Amino acid sequence: MPSISACIPDEDENNLNEVAMLLDEDKSTVIRKALREGLADLRIHLAIEQYQTGEVSTNQAARIAGVSIAEWLAIARKRNLTSQLSPDDLAADVDSAREL
């Protein structure tokens, strides 16, 4: 497993120590969990932004978010997302969904 070094503010270190104690886990484990969850959230946020502006299709948004198309559709429905996609884009998404 690769090792990464980072400088963090004192406040973040205090928060890290507190969460590690609450979870009864070491700081490295908490950092890995936080990084994994944070990166997943960032990917979804980016996919939402690009989907909302019509920059990407449903299929592309799912890839950016790192989820299946079904999971992306659930995310979109939960967040009441609307797309600016053309009918051709939507047809391509339907074709992609049928291939599953």
Q: What is the 3-state secondary structure (H, E, C) of 74-85?
A: HHHHHCCCCCCC
Name the band, by pLDDT with cuts 50, 70 and 90, for residue 82: confident
Which is it for the CA torsion 35, 40, 43, 46, positive or negative? negative
Question: Does a structural domain hold residue 67?
Answer: yes
The string of DSSP letters for 43-83 reads HHHHHHHHHHTTSS-HHHHHHHHTS-HHHHHHHHHHTT---
Domains identified in the chain, total number: 1
Please give the model's pTM, rounded to 2 decimal places: 0.74
Structural domain range at position 26: 10-99
Mean pLDDT of the chain: 90
Question: Does a structural domain hold residue 1?
Answer: no
